[in-house]
Structure 1
Amino acid sequence: MVLKDEMLARLRRTFDLNLYEVKIWVALLSRGVSTAGELSNMAGVPRSRTYDVLESLERRGFIVLKLGKPIQYIAIPPQDVVERAKKNVKEHAEQKVGNLEQLKVGDMIKNLDGLYKKGINFIDSTELSGALKGRNNIYSHLESLMKNAKSSITIATSEDGLANQVEAMKNILESAKKKGVQVKIVAPLTPKNAESAKKLKSVAEIRNVNDIDSRFTVIDGKQAVLFVLNDKELHPNYDIGVWLNSQPISNALSHMFDHMWDHLQKK
């Protein structure tokens, strides 16, 4: 069985393998047991690289070295490989998280904070604005702003945005509410996002709006994030946001929001 290039590329991404590794692994799967020379010929991988590749696959639990001579390699059932790969990813992620947690309380983060605070003092606050690319990056930045909210969070969003953006931030909005931050949301409320709206009622006051499809968030009337594109049929990776650390603009958006809010029916 010969796998197409697309399948090989998918295997590389899924299992984090290089091209030689995935070729040798697939070749061994098709044979069950084989020598390095046979696998080199089958996979089209240089003999000089084959042993390194096999050692790497063995170390990661994809294959097993067969006892005896000639030296041969045994393929592991793919289902077992998946479970081993999951375990390895989890262990690696936990180790990374542990390292990051240690970094938070160590001298390194203090030094980095010192550099940041020293540099930020030379920057006009109006210059602390920027473009955010990709929905995940926009949401992450919004989460950081919301965590530091003191008095208010106002959110105008779309039908899909209520389900995607706001529900994803439910925990942060809940924490903000516990600190006394007032959370208001306007969005088109439809059967499609009714469940999301229901979940959010415990952390925010929500009102229905039908005639706009804008997406923006204002924090304390001082900072704002605006979504530039319409999110209908837009891939999340291509979403674009603009972060504005500008009190005049944020105030203007807040006044516009309040005017709209006062004319909308409470849900």
Structure 2
Amino acid sequence: MIINESFLVKLRSSFSLNLYEVKLWAAILSRGISTAGELSDISDVPRSRTYDVLESLERKGFVIVKPEKPIKYMAIPPNEVLDRVHSKIRMNLIKHSEKVIKLKDSELMSELANLYNQGIEPLQITDFSGALKGRHNLYDQISYVLKNAEERVDLVTSEEGLLRKLNTLKPLIERTVARGIKIRILAPENPESQKIIASFGENVKFKNSGDFKGRFCLVDNKQIIFMLTDDEEVHPSYDMGFWINSNYFSGTMSKMFEKVWNSDLSSESE
């Protein structure tokens, strides 16, 4: 059986299978019902590995074993396989989430916190900085500083960047605002983003950034996350930025933000 290599690669990435698993799955789909020996021959999977790989596919819900002599394996319709995979992922996610939640008030977390607090005391101010690669890591760090904000958050971003942040961080922004934190946003206007911002209430202010361009998040004039690239020109995986915990640098950026915020470049909207 000849199968396009790119097709096998897609199967592996989409269904989290190894090479032998996708080869045997594709083989059994092409035959409907077959023995392990036949599947080994047409899939080019070593016979010594065929039985344990087919057993793995059975556990994952990709095939059905027919208890005959010789034992035969029956294909399951791809749509049904997809439903089963989705269901298992959802169940595993729920179990893992519950496990992580239970850790929150555990003795293990107390020990980790003590270890962190002991290690952080001798650090210098220059140690409180780091490079961030990948948009997901940038957003994770933005989430972290938002959770620890005490008074104010100032955000400068692009039109699409604002929509992404509002959609991704909306629940966290709502909790941050509920704590009384003031948020100011400088970005190009967009009807969709305006609706979301309006739903946050009076603690979130927006101004059109006009010709001013930048991408940074400033928290309490102490911490700043600033991006080094134009989000319109870089793939999310290669988006880069820096996080710095520095009153001096953050204070300088805060003065620049205030100057732009109070200028006539933009018209305020709540």
Give the TM-score normalised by structure 2: 0.94
1:136-175 correspondence to structure 2 within 5 Å: 136-175=136-175
Structure 2 counterpart of 1:221: 221
Q: For the residues of structure 1 that align with 2:235 and 2:207, how far apart are their CA atoms?
A: 27
Letter in 1 for 2:111: N
Structure 2 gaps of 5+ residues are none
Secondary structure, in 3 states, of the residue corresponding to 2:104?
Answer: helix
Letter in 1 for 2:194: A
Superposition deviation, residue 166 in structure 1:
3.6
Superposition deviation, residue 171 in structure 1:
2.2
Superposition deviation, residue 2 in structure 1:
4.2
Query: Runs ≥4 in structure 1, deviation > 4 angstroms?
Result: none
Structure 2 counterpart of 1:199: 196
Superposition deviation, residue 71 in structure 1:
1.1
Task: Assess if the C-alpha contact under 8 Å between 2:131 and 2:241 holds in 1.
Answer: yes
Superposition deviation, residue 25 in structure 1:
0.7
Q: Does 1:118 align with 2:118?
A: yes
Structure 1 counterpart of 2:109: 109
Q: For the residues of structure 2 that align with 1:91 and 1:125, how far apart are their CA atoms?
A: 43
Task: Assess if the C-alpha contact under 8 Å between 1:224 and 1:244 holds in 2.
Answer: yes
Task: Assess if the C-alpha contact under 8 Å between 2:166 and 2:196 holds in 1.
Answer: no
Structure 1 counterpart of 2:92: 92
Query: What do residues 222-257 of structure 1 show as CA deviations (whole Å, max 9, x unaligned)?
Result: 000001101113211110010010001111111110
Q: Percent identity between the aligned chains?
A: 42
Secondary structure, in 3 states, of the residue corresponding to 2:210?
Answer: coil
Task: Assess if the C-alpha contact under 8 Å between 2:221 and 2:250 holds in 1.
Answer: yes
Superposition deviation, residue 76 in structure 1:
0.8
Q: For the residues of structure 2 that align with 1:94 and 1:167, how far apart are their CA atoms?
A: 22
Letter in 1 for 2:44: G
Output the aligned Cα RMSD: 1.3
Structure 2 counterpart of 1:76: 76
1:255–1:166: structure 2 CA closer, same or farther, 3 Å change rule? farther
Superposition deviation, residue 132 in structure 1:
0.6
Secondary structure, in 3 states, of the residue corresponding to 1:254?
Answer: helix
Q: For the residues of structure 2 that align with 1:245 and 1:88, how far apart are their CA atoms?
A: 41
Letter in 2 for 1:200: I
Task: Assess if the C-alpha contact under 8 Å between 2:188 and 2:208 holds in 1.
Answer: yes
Structure 2 counterpart of 1:265: 267
Q: For the residues of structure 1 that align with 2:174 and 2:104, how far apart are their CA atoms?
A: 24
1:235-254 correspondence to structure 2 within 5 Å: 235-254=235-254
Question: Number of aligned pairs?
Answer: 264
Letter in 1 for 2:196: K
Superposition deviation, residue 85 in structure 1:
0.6
Structure 1 counterpart of 2:59: 59
